[in-house]
Amino acid sequence: MKIETAAQYKLPIPVQRILRKLGQDIRDARRRRRIPTAILAERASISRTTLAKLEKGNPGVSLGIFATVLFSLGMSDRLADLADVRHDRTGIALEEENLPKRIRKFRK
């Protein structure tokens, strides 16, 4: 049985760009805080190699590691809002389409 890795999957170009930007933003946040890679990797309990992959936007880095690094940088608060239903414009629009045209009084 062959085990496939994340690197073997072909990601859509927009997703690749998003991951690359996220990695660059994390790298920039680390540098603004003047935190060396060795220190941040230690705080996040990961290797420097994994941190380098994360900062390059490698899709094989788990979401848990991204979350831990963001937490180590003091930036994890916004992570919970990524897929918040209050910001789901498409879902809200679809839900509004299914609202009843009129409401009838319930009869006993």
**What would the pLDDT profile of 49-95 be if each residue is shown by its tens digit?**
999 999 999 999 999 999 999 999 999 988 888 888 888 888 888 88
pLDDT digits (tens, 9 = 90+) for 30-52: 999 999 999 999 999 999 999 99
Tokens, residue 23: 């990695």
Domains and CATH numbers, the chain: 11-76 (1.10.260.40)
Instruction: With CA atoms as reference, report the closest residue to 62 among 44, 75, 80, 78.
Output: 44
Distances (CA, A) of 21 to 4, 41, 102: 25, 19, 47
